[in-house]
Chain A
C-alpha cells in the first residue's frame, strides 16, 4: 500500500496538449512536473544563485547595514536592484553613498556580471 502512494496519479501518461505527433511528448520518459509548493523554492534558488555573491560583497563592505537587499530585476542574473541602509552612510551625499556601493561591487561590475545596477541607499532607517 505504501508503495502505491509514491506513484503520481497520472504516472507516465500525461495529457497531450500538443496533439498526437511523431515525437509524441506524451510518450517521452519524463515524469509530470511536480505541482504546487515544489516550484516556489526552485525559483527562489535560481534567483539566490545570482544575488548571493553580491549580497556577500555588500555585507562585507557595509558590516553595519540594517537593510541589505539584492534583487534580480529580470531573472537573467545581470540586472540588479540593491537597497542598502547603513549608519556608516549617514551624512554622505547620494553621489558618495552610491560610490561606496559601486566600490563594493567593483569586481562584478568590471567583469560584466552586472549589466545594469539600480541603487537605493539610506544613511539610517527612517
Chain B
C-alpha cells in the first residue's frame, strides 16, 4: 500500500488521529507535545503516527490535508487543526464537545493511546 493510502486509512479509520513528530512515549517536537497533551486532557482516544519515519509521509499528508505544518489532528476523518487550534479548543471546552458529538458521550471511557507505523 502506498504512503498516501495508508495515511488515508489512518485518517478515516481512527476516532482521533494525531500525526506528530515522534511517538506519544517519545515526542520529538514541542508542538506535537502541545497537541498530544491537549488531546490527553480532553480524554481523546488517540491514534498517533510518527511522520519522522519517512519524509514522504509528511509530504503526502500535507497534500491530502492541505495543511502545511505538523502536528495535524483529525477527528473521524475531519481535520481539526494543528497545535494552536487543538490547544485553543481544549481550553474553551469545544474539543470535548466535538469529541462527544462525533464519538459518543462515552468516548473518554474508550481512551486508549496507540501508535500506528506507516512504512
Partners in one complex: yes
Binding site for B on A (CB under 8 A): 94-95, 98-99, 102, 106, 109, 116-120
Inter-subunit contact A98/B66 (CB<8 Å): no
CB distance from A61 to the nearest CB of B (A): 15
Partner-A contacts on B (CB < 8 A): 31, 66-69, 79-85, 88-89
Interchain CB contact under 8 A, B31 and A98: no
Q: Are A99 and B66 in contact (CB under 8 A)?
A: yes
A119 to B82, CA, bound (A): 10
- Within the complex, which residue of A94, A109, A116 is in contact with B85, where a contact is CB–CB below 8 Å? A94
Please measure, in the bound complex, the distance between the C-alpha atom of A102 and the C-alpha atom of B84, giving whole angstroms: 13
Select from chain B the residue with minimum beta-carbon distance to A102.
B68
Q: Which residue of A lies closest to B81 (CB)?
A: A95
CA–CA, A99 and B79, complex, Å:
12
Find chain B residues with CB under 8 A from A120 CB.
84, 88
- Nearest CB on B from A99, distance (A): 7
Contacts of A116 in B (CB 8 A): 31
Q: Is the interface of B mostly helix, strand, loop or mixed?
A: mixed
Tell me how far the C-beta of A114 lies from the nearest C-beta in chain B, rounded to whole angstroms: 9
Query: Which residue on chain A has the smallest CB distance to residue B29?
Result: A116
CB closest residue in chain A, given B83: A118
CA distance A36 to B66 in the complex (A): 48
CB distance from A25 to the nearest CB of B (A): 38
Nearest CB on A from B96, distance (A): 16
B80 touches A95 (CB 8 A): yes
Q: Which of A94, A95, A109 contacts B68 (CB 8 A)?
A: A109
Q: Which residues of A have CB within 8 Å of B84?
A: 98, 118-120
Q: Which residue of A lies closest to B87 (CB)?
A: A118
**In the complex, which residue of chain B has the Cβ closest to the Cβ of A116?**
B31
C-alpha spacing A118/B88, complex, angstroms: 12
Known: A94-B89, A99-B67, A106-B68. 19 other contacts (CB 8 A): A94-B85, A94-B88, A95-B67, A95-B79, A95-B81, A95-B85, A98-B81, A98-B82, A98-B84, A98-B85, A99-B66, A102-B67, A102-B68, A109-B68, A117-B69, A118-B83, A118-B84, A119-B84, A120-B88
Chain B residues within an 8 Å CB radius of A95:
67, 79-81, 85
